[in-house]
Chain A
Amino acid sequence: MNTLREDLKAYIDHELPSDRQSEIERELEQDADAKREMEFMKLLGVEIRDGAVQPAVEGYDKTLRWLERATKKPQRTGFPIWQMLVATAGCLVLAAFLFPVFAQSKEAAMMTQVRADAGSAAAEDKAMAPSHGSAGEGGFGGGSGPGGAPAPRPNKPSVTPGVDKMKQSRGSGQSYFDDNMSISDGAPKSMNPSVPPSGGPGGPQLQRPLMIRTGDLSLKVENVQKAQTEATSLIEGMQGIVQSTNVTGGDDALGTASMTLRVPEVRFSTAMTALKRLGHVITESSNGEDVTTQVADTEARLKVMRVEEDQYVTLLKGTRRIGEILEVKERLGTVRQEIESLDAQRKALRSQSSYSTITLSMTEKVKADKPAAPASWSDDTLAAAKNLLSSIGVFLGQAAIYIGVLSPIWVPLGIGLWWARRRSRN
């Protein structure tokens, strides 16, 4: 229960319930001090009300104008334009700062990829070295087994006379892998992922078709010399050969380079991909010709001719008459010529199929700082204006792309700012 004095102010203000109001009234009749206090409070209240500062109103019209403007335009429910503009400007500044970083990292990534391609090719070679050796020694099916025991050479064709047997060995498709292999034969075959390791347990051995692959690549590069060096190191890293190089151009002219490159057939696609990263691709073409049948046919004919040669040699040994000897020698010479021809043909086909050829043409990009032909001031101005317009267009396009790509960052940021500002106002 409040005391009289605690309720005195509320009594003066008629803020008490009626029964408490009457009760205090009665108490005041008996308490002169409390009554004096009440009178003082009343007086104080009056003095405060009467003496209160009554300032002249300011800002009324301005507030009304603001409100009318706010009332006329629809309630902003969503898009905070100013915040979006500020966020966009921020993103553009950020993009301007980050663009060189991105460009640099793109170039670095390209170079890393090129080096990685060359490195992985070298690593592949190291890893494949044992099977490479065995393939070189014993042909495709002649590698050592896991225990070091020599694996059996299946279907080794016997060099016995008779065309039927030759056809049989030709039909098995094995003979041309068993012959003396050129340096290129081993590595590509052993690296073929579709072929199981030689000497492995069981499973049919799939044979890679012999392909002559050629590629033509035309690039536009920043610096021809640099690109040529990179292409050379790239091809050498893949165990390839730079067959020819022709670089033209100097300080005043745009440089061009033409290179003929030979890479192991299995790395043809990798090499093409890696070379394309050296510049901007203008034209690209590749061609493949399956010469498996042609090689097999050549080798079969070669073997037949060798059998025939053996027969002539045997015949020559048993011949006594001069006329017959001359005739047999003449025939033997013809057969041997044909053998040489077939052998050369076979080697050429194998070489072409094991090493693909890439013709690389590189042209230098037009540099902005190349001295232009003398022109009049009006032409200069016109060209400068066009350049400026083009630059602005490019800048706006880039800005639009950056804004679009970076939208997951700035859209939530903008919404957050807008929301925070709205909340702080409320």
Chain B
Amino acid sequence: MQVIQEKIMRKEGLDVAQAAKDFYEPVFRFCVRRVGSQLASDAAQETFLTAHRVRGKFRGESSIRTWLFGIALNECRRLVRQKSVDRATVPLIDVAGGDHGASVIDRGALQQALAKLSDDHREVVVLHEIEGLTYEEAANVLSVPVGTVKSRLHHAFLQLRRTLDPTAEGAER
């Protein structure tokens, strides 16, 4: 269904209003995880307005979602620069709410471990683990090779493991 819709959009020109109806929620949540809830709606709105302005540049080589995430990433970076947002303070894990009983790993510790990651590592974790993008899609969004995404994920998880379980054998290396 989505593929058909994307084909129609490519043929008739991208309908950004329709794209907003389909993808506003993932884009907004991505922005929340990048710049925090205060600026997320601004970033998401700017993302779709920018998409509307540059819709002619969309060539259909990637999915609309990936393309929108790429724009959102740039908007978030711009906002971070303008507003001097400390990305380490942006929560990725819901520490306060939800049922933590089934969790093996302490969510507070996990949040702290994620906050210690570098921006590049955190970006790739968010895109792949939370947003569910494939390595190739994440590479498109970040404009880096797939191998870089793979490497960053490996090192991000290695660092998370080191932080969460310093005694672990594999973490020693």
A-B contact count (CB 8 A): 137
Q: Per-position contact with A for B69-104: 1 when CB-CB < 8 Å, else 0?
A: 000000000000000000000011110001000011
A408 to chain B, nearest CB (A): 29
Asked if A44 lies at the interface with its beta carbon under 8 angstroms from chain B, I say yes
For chain A, give the interface size range. Answer: 35 or more
Given A40-B161, A52-B94, decide whether A13 and B128 contact each other with a Cβ distance below 8 A: yes
Please determine whether B50 and A426 come into contact, CB atoms closer than 8 angstroms. yes
Asked if A377 lies at the interface with its beta carbon under 8 angstroms from chain B, I say no
Question: In the bound complex, how far is the Cα of B114 from the Cα of A57, in angstroms?
Answer: 23
Please determine whether A59 and B45 come into contact, CB atoms closer than 8 angstroms. yes
Asked if A54 lies at the interface with its beta carbon under 8 angstroms from chain B, I say yes
Q: Is the interface of A mostly helix, strand, loop or mixed?
A: helix
Q: Which of A67-75, A133-141, A165-173, A286-294 contacts B (4 or more CB under 8 A)?
A: A67-75
B117 to chain A, nearest CB (A): 11
Contacts of A26 in B (CB 8 A): none
Asked if A317 lies at the interface with its beta carbon under 8 angstroms from chain B, I say no
B3 to chain A, nearest CB (A): 21
Please determine whether B21 and A426 come into contact, CB atoms closer than 8 angstroms. no
Q: Is the interface of B mostly helix, strand, loop or mixed?
A: helix
Residue in chain A with minimal CB distance to B57:
A426
Question: In the bound complex, how far is the Cα of B129 from the Cα of A53, in angstroms?
Answer: 12
Please determine whether B161 and A10 come into contact, CB atoms closer than 8 angstroms. no
B137 to chain A, nearest CB (A): 11
Asked if A62 lies at the interface with its beta carbon under 8 angstroms from chain B, I say yes
Please determine whether B103 and A64 come into contact, CB atoms closer than 8 angstroms. no
Name A426's contact: one of B53, B94, B98, B160 (CB within 8 Å).
B53
Question: In the bound complex, how far is the Cα of B21 from the Cα of A60, in angstroms?
Answer: 8
Please determine whether A66 and B45 come into contact, CB atoms closer than 8 angstroms. yes
Please determine whether A5 and B170 come into contact, CB atoms closer than 8 angstroms. yes
B169 to chain A, nearest CB (A): 6
Question: In the bound complex, how far is the Cα of B165 from the Cα of A48, in angstroms?
Answer: 16
Name A33's contact: one of B24, B29, B32, B170 (CB within 8 Å).
B170
Question: In the bound complex, how far is the Cα of B37 from the Cα of A58, in angstroms?
Answer: 9
Given A67-B17, A426-B53, decide whether A54 and B29 contact each other with a Cβ distance below 8 A: yes
Given A52-B94, A53-B92, decide whether A425 and B50 contact each other with a Cβ distance below 8 A: yes
Residue in chain A with minimal CB distance to B111:
A51
Q: 10 pairs across A/B with beta carbons < 8 Å?
A: A8-B154, A10-B154, A47-B110, A48-B129, A53-B91, A59-B40, A60-B28, A67-B20, A70-B49, A426-B53
Closest 8 CB pairs of A and B: A59-B41, A37-B170, A51-B93, A58-B41, A67-B17, A52-B130, A63-B45, A48-B129
Chain A residues at the B interface, C-beta cutoff of 8 Å: 5-10, 13, 15, 33-34, 36-37, 40-41, 43-45, 47-55, 57-60, 62-64, 66-68, 70-71, 422, 425-426
